[in-house]
Amino acid sequence: MVKNVNSKENVQPIEALNGVFRRTLLYNDSLMLCHFILEKNAVIPMHNHKEHQIGYIIKGRIKFITENDEFIAKMGDSYIFNSNEKHGAEVLDYAEVIDVFNPPREDYKDK
């Protein structure tokens, strides 16, 4: 997908996990931008991936867990996970999140 502009309303959400809905908005060879809606009490199990991930909480609160730490990110907060860093999450309140991946996640690309 190589576009210069897209609207989240133009992208059908995919339920990636129970209560976790992803819209892959845009990507190129280097970056990918995704919008997530996370229902309260949804759980993202510990996992890792080769892509670096940086995110921003639009609304809500999420408890992130890593191998060495756990922290709560709330509306207005940013977070980052390095390549192959194990992380997971528990959604404390309904949340909306923007995530950027470098390089793009192959499993999140349009098929």
Give residue 98's pLDDT: 98
Give residue 6's pLDDT: 84
68 three-class SS: coil
How far is the C-alpha of 96 from the C-alpha of 39, rounded, in Å? 9
Give residue 111's pLDDT: 56
CATH of the domain spanning 24-106: 2.60.120.10
Rounded to two decimals, the pTM is 0.92
How far is the C-alpha of 105 from the C-alpha of 27, rounded, in Å? 9
Residue spans of the chain under pLDDT 50: none
